[in-house]
Amino acid sequence: MNFKDLKKLIQNISSNNFDLATQKLQKVIFALDKKELIDIILDIGTIPEDIPHDSTEEKLFSKATDIVLAKTFRELGLKSTVNKGRANCADVVAKSEKYGYSLVADAKAFRLSRTAKNQKDFKVKSMSDWKGDNDFAVLVCPYYQYPKSNSQIYGQALDNNICLLSWEHLLLFLNNSINENNNVNLSKIWDISNELASTVSVKNKDANDNFHLKGNSIICKYLKIDQNVLNSQLKRCREATIVRGKEEIIFWEEKIKEVNTYSKQRAIKELLKALKLKEKISAINKYISLIENNK
């Protein structure tokens, strides 16, 4: 299976009961071999533009990112599970049977067409609450979707000991056959913010460089990987993202051509649907009804 196969599967099962569809996804993803997993991780951080916004397909894609992350932890030698439909908690839990620690993790994917992201999109502070009695908390996001300049999420990660990783980092681990064993204790990676915090001043805690320069250096040091290997990995992923972006542009260019063929009546119908005006009216009516019945 590759990423396109996974997307097709999501689209095919989106009409099923959500829990059953999730079970199907988990069965398929947990059965992937390492090569297939690597292929999927390369693209999983980007939500395809042909998956409608706020659709069941999008929710299933989000669930797929959680399952892929859990599968990756398993490949790294941890025991990992996906939380089922629980709110206000991390999506993934992993435990090291070798060293006894546990962690919670959250997987993120974004659309290339979405430019406005803020600290709430990354839920760094929430990760601290979700950590609970676990030892570590890990956020996995596309490397180039993290804020390019200074951001509060970096300071929040340092203050709350949240490990900021990327799908690109996970590819580095898998491509270099990193696996927890007698000589490799991955808790040093999950605890990276703790080490960074001891070297960063309060004034500079929101700096992007803390994770994207110092953090990368620490990861390579712990895993005994040459920094150039990571840089090459990031370069390949950047080039793949550019290719992916051009494919997504073609999708929207074709959509523009399709819209230009609409009749006036259909154009109005599609606009009303996009604006969700009937849903807004229904929501207001529902609220009014609750008030009227609560005299």
The Cα 185–Cα 270 span in angstroms is 54
Partners of 293 in the beta sheet? none
The Cα 205–Cα 199 span in angstroms is 10
List, in order, residues 6 or more apart from 140 with CB less than 8 Å away.
69, 105, 106, 107, 108, 165, 166, 167, 169, 170
Residue 273 has pLDDT above 90, yes or no: no
Q: What is the pLDDT of residue 100?
A: 96
The Cα 219–Cα 215 span in angstroms is 6
Q: Please tell me the pTM assigned to this model.
A: 0.90
Which amino acid is it at 156? Answer: Q
Residue 179 has pLDDT above 90, yes or no: yes
**Share above pLDDT 70 across residues of the chain, in percent, rounded to a whole number:** 97
Sorted by where each starts, the structural domains of the chain and their CATH numbers stand as 3-229 (3.40.91.70)
Give residue-wise pLDDT tens across range 10-41.
999 999 999 999 999 999 999 999 999 999 99
For β-strands 92-95 and 79-82, DSSP reports them as antiparallel
List, in order, residues 6 or more apart from 158 with CB less than 8 Å away.
193, 196, 197, 200, 205, 210
Q: What is the pLDDT of residue 226?
A: 95
**Share above pLDDT 90 across residues of the chain, in percent, rounded to a whole number:** 72
**At 134, is the pLDDT very low, low, confident or very high (cuts 50, 70, 90)?**
very high
Give residue-wise pLDDT tens across range 277-288.
888 889 888 877
